[in-house]
Amino acid sequence: MDTLPKTMTFSCLVKKGQCEIRKRPIPVLKDYDVLIKMKACNICTVDYQQFMGLREHQGYPMAGGHEGCGEIIALGDKVKDFKIGDMVALGYQGCGHCPACRSGHPSSCETFRSESEDGYKFGEFGFADYTVKSIDSLFKLNPNLDPSEAAFTEPLSTVLNGMKKLHVKPFETVVVIGAGPMGLLNALVARAYGARVIVSELLDPKLETARKMGFIVIDSKAEDPVKRVKEITDGEGADAVIGAVANTKAYDQGVQMLKDRYGRFLVFAAGYPEPELNISANDIHYKEMEIYGTYGGTNDDFEDAVKALSTGMINVSALVEAKYPLKDMQKAYQAAVDGNYRISIVFDEK
């Protein structure tokens, strides 16, 4: 690019149900920064739940957008391992030198999703035509990937983090409760790990998508999902259950789906209002049950997510519901609230 842009156009939430398109100067590149021309950024639950007023604690104005990818168009003076033209996925930006960052866990850094110098909450600026990032938060992608699919790197990393904790093995039975984008992403990864995957859902469009993707499907509004899991597993129950819906009833069902000994349950989703997890301490003791929580992905998880998407081992094309330009961000947020899968903000789509 002969002349680099001086300003960036971005979206920020200013209050419940309202976003604005604003401009700000592009920050000066530090030694290890790069300037990225964004290709796509998908609307995450973190984003649209604040649009709905469910995450007011995150603050305003919120310049979010973290499920993104783009092309590097300028380099800081000391950048060596990236070059102009590289397609990269956005990772988590930490301080880079605290114990959490040094161990590959920037989502545990105190500066993670902190306020920008000019007062924007979350300060990630993924919903922008240009953004500046440090190279320690970037991961190279196959440039031939559809940008809206490449933007699944971050959510896929969070799924991989949880799946590694669950220690899923080939031929095990894994139940995923919820066939939304994160539920089906969990289901895809569990299948890639060699498990037999059952998906429980109550909404017809999501049930249909899960069927088309080849999973065993339980319509939880038409039949008892716990009873059905027991039938499918010849009375044994599931080796592992993933709660991909933040709902007390769903969590109760998930615990009941587990086999009598050594069952594993993963609390994948956070919910507002907060769901309850009703588990007997004696059951955990006598059944030797394992309960896991997961949040975000490590740097290693991001690397694995890039490999899975770049090689086609995980195909997320069915999870992109619609694409909108940045100027229609208000409509895009509403579509995310009303829809079933990811709404993608695209920039300069060819």
Mean pLDDT, residues 314-340 taken together: 96
Mean pLDDT, residues 35-48 taken together: 95
Q: Where are the domains of the chain?
A: 7-152+316-346, 156-293
Round the average pLDDT of the chain to a whole number and report it: 94
Residue holding tokens 């993608």? Answer: 344
Is the pLDDT higher at 46 or at 229? 229
Is the pLDDT higher at 167 or at 123? 167
37 φ/ψ angles, rounded to the nearest 5 degrees: -90, 110
Residue 167, CB-side half-sphere exposure with 13 Å CA sphere: 7
pLDDT at position 22? 97
Residue holding tokens 């320690």? Answer: 136
pLDDT tens column, 82-92 = 999 999 999 99
Q: Quickly list DSSP for 1-69.
A: --S--SEEEEEEEEETTEEEEEEEEPPPP-TTEEEEEEEEEE--HHHHHHHTTS-GGG-SSB----EEE
For residue 348, pLDDT beyond 80 = no
Distance CA 116, CA 149 (A): 28
Residues 228, 229, 234, 238, Cα dihedral to 10°: -170
The CATH number of domain 156-293, selected from 3.40.50.80, 3.40.50.720, 3.20.20.30, 1.10.10.10? 3.40.50.720
311 φ/ψ angles, rounded to the nearest 5 degrees: -95, -10
pLDDT at position 116? 82
pLDDT tens column, 228-281 = 999 999 999 999 999 999 999 999 999 999 999 999 999 999 888 899 999 999
pLDDT at position 1? 54
Domain at 7-152+316-346, CATH homologous superfamily: Medium-chain alcohol dehydrogenases, catalytic domain (3.90.180.10)
Percentage above 70 pLDDT, the chain: 99
Distance CA 25, CA 312 (A): 37
Topology agreement, domain 7-152+316-346 and domain 156-293: no
Distance CA 225, CA 209 (A): 18
Residues 332, 333, 339, 341, Cα dihedral to 10°: 80
pLDDT at position 2? 63
pLDDT at position 350? 45
Distance CA 24, CA 34 (A): 17
pLDDT at position 125? 94
Strands (E), 273-337: 290-293, 320-325
